Amino acid sequence: MSFQVVFLWSDVLLFVLIAAIVALILWARRQDALRAAWGRVARDGMAMAAATVLAAFVIIGLLDSLHYRPRLDARPGEPVRYAVEVHSALDALLSDLRQRSEKTYSAPLATHLFAKEALENSTQREFPRLKHGGTHLGADLANHEFDIALRVSRGCAGGVALWLLLTTLWCRLKGLELLAVLAAMKPGADLKVGAGDTAIGAEKNVATGAVFVTLLAILLLLGIAVALGGGYHVFGTDKVGQDVLYLSLKSIRTGLLIGTLTTLVMLPLAVLLGILAGYVGGWVDDVIQYLYTTLSSIPGVLLIAAAVLMMQVIIDTHPDWFATSAERADARLLALCLILGMTSWTGVARLLRGETLKLRELEFVQAAQAFGVGRFAIMRRHILPNLMHIVLIALVMDFSGLVLAEAVLSYVGVGVDPTTISFGTMINTARMELAREPMVWWSLAAAFTFMFALVLAANLFADAVRDAFDPRSSA
């Protein structure tokens, strides 16, 4: 093989989490109440638009989680050797962006470096030409703006063509006509089958118009980025000449891991301790309340910083545990997820305790107690199923907070490993660039734009989930 597959612990946990989500979806389809609630989410146009954006981020994160080590060239008879550096499938797709590095800063879509330098055989300081950005223009830069406009138009045409192809394939699978789907994209329109002109039920019409409009916008941006990225640096380059668009796309995986893997630690603790405190009561309730009250009283940043530094000391004193630098950075990322999970379960546990206190006084729980059903059986059969909507709402709404927490922690230097690309490390690097004159703004703007899109989509989807699962909003 020309490469060696590498399994990082974060990759394994991420795919396990996705498999668990798929299993939960299949289980929820057999539950009438859950199917009805998710049906309300599916009929919300804003929610489905946000879900489409989140799906795009998830696809990028999954591509960046397929890691491998490329095979090194060797002479005949020599043993097979692989590179120390670990790449991903996303790196392979973005190989041009990753390899086309410049000397230092360059502005978005620029043809010259951002700072003047002394040229060879000259006493004057000029803006040197980039090694890759705009080199196809040659020495004549008069057509620079026209070339950008031409590439943008080609990118839009390619995005529309790909959108039409995907829409046509979807129509073939659903037995619909393309014109009927395009007509359904208008506000208030119904999606109709071509021949019989019969409206599809509300359960099957999952806000089709919102999904296709959002998909069209995503594919237009993708087409423009691909067209411009072939000749320019779309978001410019950073201090060491790396493409900022490449760094922004690589940061998505880190944000998704922080927002999802932390739940693997937080969820069992919050559910178990919250239900125990609310149902058992007595000294068990007192101990659990004392535990999460003590944790909540400690400033979160100080607690996380102390734990991260302790884990970093362990990692530094055991270098033989890691074969590559990627495994070392992955260990710190998992440690950060563990620490965030251990410190962020208190709010969910307190919420579940209060709800359990109300549930244990209801008639069906007291009837189970009268028939001699054990405590753990009651908690598993009667308490936990009636708390799952709260758990789901809390987890979806906490996702955006965890993504922002990584950015803040990496900004103050106690987040992910410095070699790990993330929104926080990009912002931390960009803060000193803002003091330059003229100001280097594009690194911060790119990180903010991608992080804002991810957090906004998560919040909009969380609002729809909360409205669908909240009994008070559906009453």
Residue 176 pLDDT level (bands cut at 50, 70, 90): low
Whether the pLDDT of residue 18 is over 90: the answer is no
Paired strand residues for 126: 117
Specify the pLDDT at position 203: 39
Specify the pLDDT at position 195: 43
Give, as one character, the DSSP assignment of residue 5. E
Specify the pLDDT at position 311: 82
Average pLDDT over residues 32-45: 81
Residue 167 pLDDT level (bands cut at 50, 70, 90): confident
Average pLDDT over residues 19-26: 84
Average pLDDT over residues 344-352: 87
Specify the pLDDT at position 471: 58
Instruction: Evaluate the omega torsion of the peptide bond into residue 438 and state whether it is cis, within 30 degrees of 0.
Output: yes
Percentage of the residues of the chain whose pLDDT score is greater than 90: 14
Specify the pLDDT at position 182: 64
Question: How far apart are alpha carbons 15 and 22 in whole angstroms?
Answer: 10
Residue 252 pLDDT level (bands cut at 50, 70, 90): very high
Question: How far apart are alpha carbons 44 and 210 in whole angstroms?
Answer: 9
Which long-range contacts link 358-365 to residues 24+ away (Cβ below 8 Å)? Answer: 359/278, 359/279, 359/383, 359/386, 359/387, 360/278, 360/279
Specify the pLDDT at position 187: 54
pLDDT in tens, 378-424: 888 888 878 877 887 777 777 777 888 887 888 777 788 888 888 88
Average pLDDT over residues 218-222: 94
169 or 397, higher pLDDT:
169
User: Considering all CA atoms of the chain, what is the largest pairwise distance in Å, rounded to the nearest integer?
Assistant: 96
Q: Which of these, 125, 141, 123, lies nearest to 133 by C-alpha position?
A: 141
Residue 122 pLDDT level (bands cut at 50, 70, 90): low
Average pLDDT over residues 85-96: 89
Average pLDDT over residues 237-245: 88
Average pLDDT over residues 192-221: 66
Question: How far apart are alpha carbons 365 and 359 in whole angstroms?
Answer: 7
Specify the pLDDT at position 423: 87
Whether the pLDDT of residue 129 is over 80: the answer is yes
Whether the pLDDT of residue 130 is over 90: the answer is no
Average pLDDT over residues 13-25: 84
319 or 453, higher pLDDT:
453
Question: How far apart are alpha carbons 307 and 94 in whole angstroms?
Answer: 35
Phi-psi region at 94: left, alpha or beta (left = phi > 0; alpha = psi -120 to 50)? alpha
Specify the pLDDT at position 181: 62
Specify the pLDDT at position 303: 81
Task: Give the DSSP letter string of 395-461.
Answer: HHHHHHHHHHHHHHHHHTT-SS-TTS--HHHHHHHHHHHTTSSS---HHHHHHHHHHHHHHHHHHHH
Specify the pLDDT at position 222: 94
Residue 294 pLDDT level (bands cut at 50, 70, 90): confident
Question: How far apart are alpha carbons 333 and 259 in whole angstroms?
Answer: 12
Residue 16 pLDDT level (bands cut at 50, 70, 90): confident
The mean pLDDT of the chain is: 82
Whether the pLDDT of residue 204 is over 70: the answer is no
The 10 Å Cβ neighbour count of residue 310 is: 12
Q: Under 8 Å CB-to-CB from 129, ≥6 apart: which residues?
A: 111, 112, 113, 135
Specify the pLDDT at position 197: 42
pLDDT in tens, 299-324: 777 788 888 888 888 888 888 888 77
Ranking 112-116, 123-127, 450-454 by mean pLDDT, the lowest is: 123-127
Residue with tokens 């394939």: 169
Bridging pattern class, strands 67-70 and 3-6:
antiparallel
Whether the pLDDT of residue 109 is over 50: the answer is yes
Average pLDDT over residues 120-129: 74
